[in-house]
Structure 1
Amino acid sequence: MIMILICFIAPWLAMFLRGHMVQGVLCIILHLTVIGWIPATIWALAVCRREGAT
């Protein structure tokens, strides 16, 4: 539940917490644009859901 909240507030932080450093940096760049915030959030949610399933 807390990871989902982190994905909405700071998607790049969710990537870093899951150990995806390069994806986290790309997510920061995407998150810096207003239009890119929504895809960054969806991307972080997808990564967190996939990591949680394993």
Structure 2
Amino acid sequence: MFIVIVLLALSLWGAVWAIVDVRRDGYGQRATDWSRVAGREDDALQRAESMTAYR
């Protein structure tokens, strides 16, 4: 019975720690830094983003 309790406690601790770690790892929505994206020097989408009105 002691081993079962220890295993349950370790499982609970591992599950809680996994949730905490996933929340801290920085995985989530971030704004894209377009200056670091390759191949966007003369891109139509970049020009469209900088325009105030679309056709």
- Pick 1 or 2: higher relative contact order, CA cutoff 8 A, min separation 6: 1
Q: Compute the TM-score of the two structures, normalised by the length of structure 1.
A: 0.37
TM-score, normalised to structure 2, is 0.36
Q: Please state which structure has a larger fraction of its residues in helix.
A: 1
Pair member with larger Rg: 2
